[in-house]
Structures are given as structure tokens and as C-alpha cells.
Chains A and B, each alone.
Chain A
Amino acid sequence: MSRLMEPLSVGRVIGEVVDNFIPSVKLNVTYNSNKQVSNGHELMPAVITAKPRVEIGGEDMRAAYTLVMTDPDAPSPSDAYLREHLHWIVTDIPGTTDASFGREIVSYETPKPAIGIHRYVFILFKQRARHSVRPPASRDHFNTRSFAEENGLGLPVAAVYFNAQRETACRKR
């Protein structure tokens, strides 16, 4: 358990975005059918323009899950005054399927990291009942913890994050 949580707590996903939790459901996020998201690895902005394929585990298809994608380093990691910019919410995902079977209440927004290196976090919550999650008012100043509290989602069941920066950032070398 702790081996899986180490990159999440070292990268301060646990701490800034969510609280410490025990992962119980498998979460598999893949961009462009070959680029899998692993904790702390970096993806190019060209790859993440389209929404990824998110496969979740779980025991049965009756349980509903909610997937939230946020950027805790908006607009810049050194001065994140828009802390947590919301990119995507999909609810009512049946267990053991993928996100295309869910209902997208906040549409996927292509990440555009303008300044610095941003973390993009996928968090999976287990819903108590279907149709219980409401979209938030705006994408900026999003708070994952308060969102989970408002919609009765409790602690997350899975999380993964990747890094991304502007395409032209390292062209000097």
C-alpha cells in the first residue's frame, strides 16, 4: 500500500489535492492508445490534446465512480493563485468499464501549461448513488476536497498524475 502511495505523497498530490487514502480500485489512464500515465512521468502537450482512455477496476458494474482531472499548479507552480484548475469530470462510470460509459458533466479541456511544469491529477471517487454529482460553478479555484464533501464522495479510491510543460520550453539544448 505505501509503495503505491509514495510517488503521490512525494509529488504532494496527497497533501495539496487530496488527503491520504488507501487505493482500492485499479485506475489505468492511456493517451493515444500507447502513452500510459505513470506517477510523475512527463507527457508532451501534443499527446494530451484529446481525452484519454480511462479504464477502472472495481468489483461489479453496479457501483458508480466519478473521475476528476485537475491541475493544482494553475497558472504557475511558483505562484498558484488559481489553485486547482478543473479539466474534466465524468460521473456514473460503471465499475470494471471505462470512462466512455460515464456521463461527462464537465467536458475535457486540453491542458495548456503556460509557465513552468504542471502536475495533472486524475482522481477516482466511488459514488454512493447514481446522479448524485453536480458540476461546479467554474473551472478555476476548484477544490477537490470540498467537491468531494459537497457530493458525498468521501476519500478517493485511486489517483494518478503526470507532468507537462510547454512544448517550446527546452528547445535551447
Chain B
Amino acid sequence: MACASTSASATWNMSSLRSAIPPIHARSASSVHLSTGPSSSRLKFSSSKLLHSFVGLAPLHPLLSLSSPDSTSFEHCFTVIDNGGRFFAMRHGKRVPKLNRPPDQRRALLRALTTQLLKHGRIKTTRARASAMRKYVDKMVTLAKDGSLHKRRQALGFIYEKEIVHALFAEVEERYGDRNGGYTRIIRTLPRRGDNAPMAYIELV
């Protein structure tokens, strides 16, 4: 059916094109108008038919297309990129630093550390914690660089003290306006005396 419509519109296109060419003589203008009248409507009809055929190639509804392959996508309305439902006993390739803590305590520790770094400018902590913190400090500075209300509320939900958030949003423009990323610096230092833990200073650049 699609091919038939294209061939039909092809013939119609040629004739309508010829009639659509601006006429040299004035007396053929009226005939051109007459011929373009019905042909233009038919051209529109065929082009709309063409468009309909075009649209038909795209997926009609994302929900309906997703419901077929997986039984787990009942809950999700969007594609989930996962490892395909496989699970391994080992930790190979997982780059999340665990910091010897369960997830809730880990999140609380990182929130506290970024709050203190933003407050004091330079803190001394263990190397593992310092290198785990970098991502969250950069995230906070990026939120402040955006500056909108939504980002401010997101930052308030992460940093423990609200004065620090407001101060950060106020001064980030002059401090980090030109810098793209990498807002911290880690300097390794002597190990801690009590347990020989490798220490580092982390400071805002």
C-alpha cells in the first residue's frame, strides 16, 4: 500500500511540479491556478499519506513496546541499564569505596566530611576518606555553580549546616567561576601515630 501511494504521488508530483513552476506567459496563469487547485489537495493527501507511513515505522508507545521482553519492567516505565540480572560473589570492577561501613553510615560520614571541608577549607583525614570525598565536594560545588532554587534545596539536603550552603552559593562564582571541575587538592602526609593510618590533607583548591 505504501509503495502504491508513493508511485501514485510520484506521478502526481511531477504534474503538480510542472504546474507549480512560475509561468512565463500571463494567460496560462489562470490555467495553472486551476490545475494546482485539485492537484495541490491531492498532493497534500499523498504527502500526508507519506507522513503517516513514516510515523508508522517509529514505535507507537514506549510502554507497550517494553512490556513484551522482560517481566521485571512492570515497575519501571523507562529502560534500566543493568548488568542483566547477573550477580557475582566477588567485587571485581566495582569502584564504590565502602570505607568499612554500612551504606547509611557511609553516606553520613561523607556528608559530614564534605560539610567540614566546606566549613574549614582544609581538613586532615585518612587517604581513603579524602579520595572518597572528592566526588561529593565537586558535586556540591557544581550545584552551587548552577545556583537555582532547586539546586540550593538539593544542597541543603546533603550538607548538614545551612549557613555553609548559603555561604557556598554566595561565593562560588568568584572562587570557581573559571575552573571546570577539580575543586579539591589532596596532599599526602605522615601516617597517624595511633594506628599508622596513611593520612592526607584535603583542601579546597
Instruction: Please give the distance in Å from A15's CB to the nearest CB on chain B.
Output: 11
Contact B121 A163 (CB under 8 A): no
Contact B121 A77 (CB under 8 A): yes
Once bound together, how far apart are the Cα atoms of A11 and B121, in whole Å?
14
Instruction: Please give the distance in Å from B153's CB to the nearest CB on chain A.
Output: 23
Partner of A117, one of B118, B119, B124, B171: B124
Contact A77 B122 (CB under 8 A): yes
Once bound together, how far apart are the Cα atoms of A42 and B187, in whole Å?
12
Interface residues of B in 12-38 (CB under 8 A from A): none
Indicate whether B66 reaches chain A with its CB closer than 8 angstroms.
Answer: no
Indicate whether A134 reaches chain B with its CB closer than 8 angstroms.
Answer: no
Contact B189 A41 (CB under 8 A): yes
Contact A77 B203 (CB under 8 A): yes
Contact B122 A78 (CB under 8 A): yes
Contact A40 B187 (CB under 8 A): yes
Instruction: Please give the distance in Å from A134's CB to the nearest CB on chain B.
Output: 33
Contact B124 A42 (CB under 8 A): yes
Chain B neighbourhood of A117, CB < 8 A = 120, 122-124, 201
When A and B form their complex, what is the total count of cross-chain residue pairs whose Cβ atoms lie within 8 Å?
45
Contact B201 A78 (CB under 8 A): no
Once bound together, how far apart are the Cα atoms of A41 and B190, in whole Å?
7
Interface residues of A in 60-86 (CB under 8 A from B): 73, 76-80
- In which size bucket is the chain B interface? 10 to 19
Indicate whether A58 reaches chain B with its CB closer than 8 angstroms.
Answer: no
Chain B neighbourhood of A77, CB < 8 A = 120-122, 203-204
Chain A neighbourhood of B118, CB < 8 A = 78
Indicate whether A10 reaches chain B with its CB closer than 8 angstroms.
Answer: yes
Contact B201 A163 (CB under 8 A): yes
List 14 extra interface pairs beyond A76-B120, A77-B122, CB under 8 A: A12-B185, A40-B189, A41-B190, A42-B124, A77-B120, A77-B203, A78-B119, A78-B120, A78-B204, A115-B120, A117-B122, A117-B124, A165-B124, A170-B124
* Residues of B in contact with A (beta carbons under 8 Å apart): 118-124, 171, 185, 187, 189-190, 201, 203-204
* Residues of A in contact with B (beta carbons under 8 Å apart): 10-12, 40-42, 73, 76-80, 115-117, 163, 165, 170
Q: Which 8 A-B pairs have the closest CB atoms?
A: A78-B121, A77-B121, A116-B120, A77-B122, A117-B122, A116-B121, A116-B122, A10-B187
A-B contacts, 13 listed (Cβ < 8 Å): A10-B185, A10-B187, A12-B185, A40-B201, A42-B124, A77-B203, A78-B122, A116-B121, A116-B122, A117-B124, A117-B201, A165-B124, A170-B124
